[in-house]
Amino acid sequence: MVFLSLCSWMEDLSLLAIFYWIIAIPSSAVFLIQLVLSYKNPESKKTNADNNSALKDKDITFQPFNFRNIIGFFVALGWSGLACIDSGLSNGSTILVSFICGVAMMFAMATIIYFMGKLLKSISEELD
């Protein structure tokens, strides 16, 4: 019964809105799974000495194209596209704004991870 009401709800949407819903829901689910799993990191049980030596040897690079950042891109793309459609923007404007939001999210996440890595490396060097 719920599935039938979901199908009738989707009949009222435009093709672009359906596309953005298909992008937003699965990518948000994967993003939430990543968030939960990031707190259950198996490497967090190492001692400080192990972490310090591992961080000292690790080269910190700016990586905008990894799995976590790509999922962030799709989350921002999907939800910003739906917001643009809801606000009444044209299809071209919606696609452009949502793509810019996705790229901004991807690079913001990569920048945060990069600077957190540099911070951890400087802290580990201070502790030695």
Assess if residue 48 is contained within a domain: no
The residues, any chain, with a CB within 8 Å of residue 105's CB and separated by 6 or more, are 72, 73, 75, 76
Kindly state whether residue 5 falls inside one of the protein's structural domains. no
Structure tokens at 13: 């949407």
pLDDT digit string, tens, across residues 12-71? 888 999 999 999 999 999 999 988 888 776 555 555 545 555 555 566 677 778 888 899
Q: What letter does residue 88 receive in the DSSP assignment?
A: T
- What is the tally of structural domains in the chain? 1
Provide the residue range defining the domain that includes 100.
Answer: 14-39+58-127
Whole-angstrom distance, CA of residue 104 vs CA of residue 72:
10
Helix then strand count (H, E) for the chain reads 5, 0
Reply yes or no on whether the pLDDT at 9 is more than 60.
yes
